[in-house]
Amino acid sequence: MSGPLSHVRVLDFTALVQGPMATQLLGDLGADVIKFERPGGEWMRSWGILNGRSHGEMDSFLAFNRNKRSVAVDLKDPRVAERILELAVEADVVVENFRPGVMARLGLGYEDFRAANPQIIYASSSGYGQTGPYSKRPGQDLLIQALSGLMFLTGRKHEPPTAFGVGITDQYTALHIVIGILAALAHRTETGEGQKLEVDLFSCTVAMQQQELTYYLNHGTLPERAEENLGSVWATAPFGIYATADGHIAIAMTPCPVLAAALDLPWLEQFDTLDEMVASRAEIYSGLSEHFRGDTSARWIEVLLEHDVWCAPVQTYEQLVEDPQVASNEMFWDVPVGAGEASFRTPGSPFRFSTTPAEIRYGVPRAGQHTSEFFTEADLSGAGTEA
């Protein structure tokens, strides 16, 4: 078994996106992830984006559940909880993203696991935190984008608040779960001590706005959303997204005099300080927009890169999957489903290790596919209701 975390066993009590993405990352890094689901499977097996299914499973479930084994049991059955705590003796990490208090009521809270294994690392992720006025509310990506201030920053003037095109808060929080677990494992290596880790969608999304909130907290003002497609309300010209003859290109942090030389536009040279590039954003954007409509995206990217301008074409998914850098990075994997009767294509792990490569050890399991490896029929007798 390869992977830098091949010595780590994870008991996974997560559903939806943030928790499953975190445990998938741990699995990609070699951890032995045992996913506990209710009989019939967790909620994401029956709900997902555009109701898309492949090989009998929701695409949304397939996306976040490779490199795991599935155990389907009724967590409300005391005998099941007792058996799980027996398994905890040989486990290193527990990850759960139920609403606060649910795991404790099941007899599977941090104190229960710590009694079974004092070195256990117990990671809890929630919508808003384990305590506080919102702690019992349902936490979900769109809701967190709305509440955290992230949504009102996105979009143009006179448009309504705009959500991101992906579940950014779920996935950003998943990274914090993993980072926290790795930090706790490092601490345990030095001290032998386990501990509890808590993260939540709301706090992580507020922290995501590190530089924006730093500006606001210290200046007390916010920039007004622009009518132009500047890409960010905070940016300095010529930062923005520009229409071309056949698509769009994006330009990032580039001094206007550099862009003036690249495009042979002398009028841009006058904007040679940051203050001038901020104050004249609309004027600069308007002039560049007219210029860029005169040729294709490919031609403009070629011209701009010759002068080391920070730029990129705005690609569709159809263009992305054919991109040569995607091929070079081997960014898509074919992952088996169940016992290997089918496979689906998905983004692979972005990690690159020289000695312990990330790889597929388990595909995405069917619900309960591995239950018999951890529970006997006697353990499950009498189990009926779902958790």
pLDDT on residue 9? 98
Closest-CA residue to 2 (of 351, 329, 370, 330): 351
Q: Report the C-alpha gap between 110 and 254 in whole angstroms.
A: 50
What phi and psi values does residue 121 have, to the nearest 5 degrees? -105, 120
Residues of the chain with CATH 3.40.50.10540: 9-207+327-380
pTM exceeds 0.75: yes
Q: Could you give the angle at which helices 201-208 and 168-191 cross, rounded to 10 degrees?
A: 100
pLDDT on residue 386? 43
* Token pair 């898309």 in the structure block, residue: 52
Record the tokens describing residue 47, joined without a space. Answer: 């709900």
CA angle 176, 68, 113 (to 5 degrees): 65
Contact between residue 116 and residue 89 where contact means Cβ atoms under 8 Å apart: yes
Q: Is 129 helix (H, G, I), strand (E, B) or coil?
A: coil
Name the pairing type of β-strands 9-13 and 32-37: parallel
CATH number, domain 9-207+327-380: 3.40.50.10540
**Range 268-276, long-range pairs (CB < 8 A, 24+ positions):** 268/238, 271/237, 274/236
For residue 195, what is the enclosing H or E element? Answer: strand 195-200
Is 200 assigned a catalytic role? no
Record the tokens describing residue 283, joined without a space. Answer: 């004027």
* Token pair 């916010």 in the structure block, residue: 222
pLDDT on residue 223? 82
For residue 9, what is the enclosing H or E element? Answer: strand 9-13
Contact between residue 69 and residue 23 where contact means Cβ atoms under 8 Å apart: no
* Token pair 């909130």 in the structure block, residue: 213
For 26, residues 6+ apart whose C-beta sits below 8 A from its C-beta are: 5, 8, 10, 33, 93, 95, 178, 181
End-to-end Cα, the chain, rounded Å = 33
* Token pair 């010759």 in the structure block, residue: 306
Concatenate the DSSP letters of all residues of 304-335 into one string: HHHTT--EEE---HHHHTT-HHHHHHT-EEEE
For 272, residues 6+ apart whose C-beta sits below 8 A from its C-beta are: 255, 256, 257
> Of residues 32, 170, 200, 379, which has the active-site annotation?
170
Q: What b-and-e string marks burial along 359-381, b requiring 16 or more CB atoms within 10 Å of the CB? A: ebbbbbbbbbbbbeebbeeebbe
**Range 77-81, long-range pairs (CB < 8 A, 24+ positions):** 77/380, 77/382, 77/383, 77/384, 78/107, 79/379, 79/380, 79/381, 79/382, 79/383, 80/375, 80/379, 80/380, 80/383, 81/106, 81/107, 81/108, 81/112
Per-residue pLDDT of the chain (387 residues; tens, 9 = 90+): 589 999 999 999 999 999 999 999 999 999 999 999 999 999 999 999 999 999 999 999 999 999 999 999 999 999 999 999 999 999 999 999 999 999 999 999 999 999 999 999 999 999 999 999 999 999 999 999 999 988 888 888 888 888 899 999 999 999 999 999 999 999 999 999 999 999 999 999 999 999 999 999 999 988 888 888 888 888 899 999 999 999 999 999 999 999 999 999 999 999 999 999 999 999 999 999 999 999 999 999 999 999 999 999 999 899 999 999 999 999 999 999 999 999 999 999 998 888 999 999 999 999 999 999 999 988 887 644 444
For 126, residues 6+ apart whose C-beta sits below 8 A from its C-beta are: 97, 98, 99, 100, 135, 139, 198, 200, 201
pLDDT on residue 151? 87
Q: Report the C-alpha gap between 146 and 18 in whole angstroms.
A: 17
